[in-house]
Amino acid sequence: MAVKRSTGHGGDSFSNAYRVWLLVLTVCVGAFGFIDRIVISTLGEAIKRDLALSDFQLGILGGLSFAILYSTIGLPIARLAERKSRITIISVSIGLFSIATVLCGFAASFWQLFLLRIGVGIGEAGVQAPVASLLTDHFRRERRGTVMTIMKLGSPLGSVIGALSAGWIGTHYGWRAAVVAVAAPGILIAILFRLTLREPPRGMSDPDSDRGEQEPPPFLAVMRTMGARAEFRQMLLGLSLVTIALFGSGAFYSPFFMRAHGLSLSEIGVYYSIQSGIAATVGFAIGGVGIDFLSKRHPRWNSLIPAIGVAISVPFNLIGYSVDDPRMALIFLILGAIAIFFHNVPTLVAFQNMVTSRMRATAAFVFFFVTTMIGVGIGPAIVGLLSDFYASIAFTAGDYGTLCSGQQLARSGADIQSACLTASTAGIRYALLSATGFAAWSSIHYFLASRITGRPTRT
């Protein structure tokens, strides 16, 4: 893509058209990254039945299998991105997670699918932190909230495309065909990213006084810089807790509506796309654009916006998981999800603004490590474990784990099958209600962070 020398800030040579194309591609990257995550959640009930899985195993596939190496590989990749071409790192990573997701469609057992989901996580590990660092170098501080919001719009776009496509294809051709079909186009995005973009100078959009080091400081030095700030420590706790609630619940959205409200797989695709598409788009927009405006008044809004949003989400989600009408449940869960997404962009922007240009990929890694390892990895496993626990309590016809397992359940009579469905429905409902407690706890830490923002850092 042609570029022209700009006379704007920093004297860089990247045109406005180039920046728009960069944003378009990063949205596409986010979309396919989220498609590869959401496909397991959307098709979860079909995968569970085909592979005879428990809710705990389903939770692991939806989260921990993806996050387990994402979190460990993410740090060396983020450190590499401080030194080497982020364009190359990102494009290779996109191709890797797309190919790994395609191969998931051929898995014949829990362990095969588990290992392939680890491959997806390895690919994703090379995307988000380098992308955040790349965008920060292209846009000035006062525009970063809006830019990060645009980047984050890839998630709801991926949710809509992934849920609708996976639901429809899964209904007509099976879950395996759906996985392959929705993941394969990501390979084209990897090629476009590599061939049409180029690496910018580090700190290109920063004032000369903020350009940072010529060489990236050690990881521990970055952590000391961030950890010295009391608001960072509180925001880190808040981020950990809210992502458990958000991703833990999201992994069981499809099973909840299928069990509690009797929706079909294709209907789940519609519900999932409506809920995630509206909620994430509006939530990211309010949080991201709002922080660009409000942070000019005081930096405490970086944590106060998340505190308010996460707190508001709790009663909406409690009602959404309790009502009997699926349409009313959808409405309340949309409102709850809009509010809970307020936390995302302000937290990421706050972490980026705490450090210099040679620390930004590492600071972004900290954000994505927490959201992925704790939120995506541990959250679904916690909710799945709670679901199995509550279901075992609700089941009164014997041992739930034995009688309600996939192969045993298929051989059981109608009475046992009905009792298993009733118990599993109660289990998932109470597990999701319990997950809202993590959101309530998170809002307290974000509020505490807002109270101490602006105080001198610890030495």
Alpha helix segments (H runs only) across 54-109: 55-59, 65-81, 86-104
pLDDT at residue 8, rounded to an integer: 41
Inside any domain, residue 6: no
Inside any domain, residue 360: yes
Inside any domain, residue 209: no
Inside any domain, residue 397: yes
Inside any domain, residue 11: no
Q: Are 105 and 180 in contact (CB under 8 A)?
A: yes
Q: Are 287 and 309 in contact (CB under 8 A)?
A: yes
Range(s) of the domain holding residue 75: 17-203+215-452
pLDDT at residue 385, rounded to an integer: 92
Q: 328 is written with which tokens?
A: 């009313």
Per-residue pLDDT of the chain (459 residues), as tens digits, is 444 444 344 445 678 888 889 999 999 988 888 887 778 777 888 888 888 888 888 878 866 776 777 767 877 887 888 788 889 999 999 999 899 889 988 988 889 988 888 888 888 778 877 888 888 888 877 777 778 778 878 878 887 888 888 888 888 888 899 989 988 888 999 999 999 988 887 767 666 545 545 677 888 888 898 888 889 999 999 999 999 999 899 888 888 999 999 998 788 878 878 887 888 888 888 887 777 777 777 778 888 999 999 999 999 999 999 999 999 999 999 999 999 999 988 898 888 888 877 787 788 888 888 887 888 788 988 999 999 999 999 998 888 877 887 666 656 677 888 888 899 999 999 999 999 999 999 999 999 999 887 655 554
CA dist., res. 29 & res. 151, Å (int): 9
Inside any domain, residue 325: yes
pLDDT at residue 342, rounded to an integer: 92
Closest CA to 30 of 142, 181, 160, 179: 160
CA dist., res. 365 & res. 348, Å (int): 10
pLDDT at residue 203, rounded to an integer: 67
CATH code of the domain containing 101:
1.20.1250.20
Q: Are 47 and 65 in contact (CB under 8 A)?
A: no
DSSP state of 341: G
pLDDT at residue 133, rounded to an integer: 81
CA dist., res. 145 & res. 151, Å (int): 10
Task: Please calculate the CA angle 403-406-407 and round it to the nearest 5 degrees.
Answer: 85
Q: Are 261 and 455 in contact (CB under 8 A)?
A: no
CA dist., res. 273 & res. 173, Å (int): 20
Looking up tokens 């059981």, which residue turns up?
412
Q: 459 is written with which tokens?
A: 């030495």
Inside any domain, residue 384: yes
CA dist., res. 352 & res. 82, Å (int): 14
Inside any domain, residue 458: no
CA dist., res. 276 & res. 42, Å (int): 12
Domain count, the chain: 1
- Angle between helical axes of 110-125 and 65-81 (0-180°, round to 10): 20
DSSP state of 398: S
Residue 9 Cα distances to 99, 204, 383, 430, angstroms: 39, 8, 48, 53
Closest CA to 90 of 371, 360, 361, 377: 361
Q: Are 127 and 94 in contact (CB under 8 A)?
A: yes
> Furthest-apart CA pair in the chain: how many Å?
76
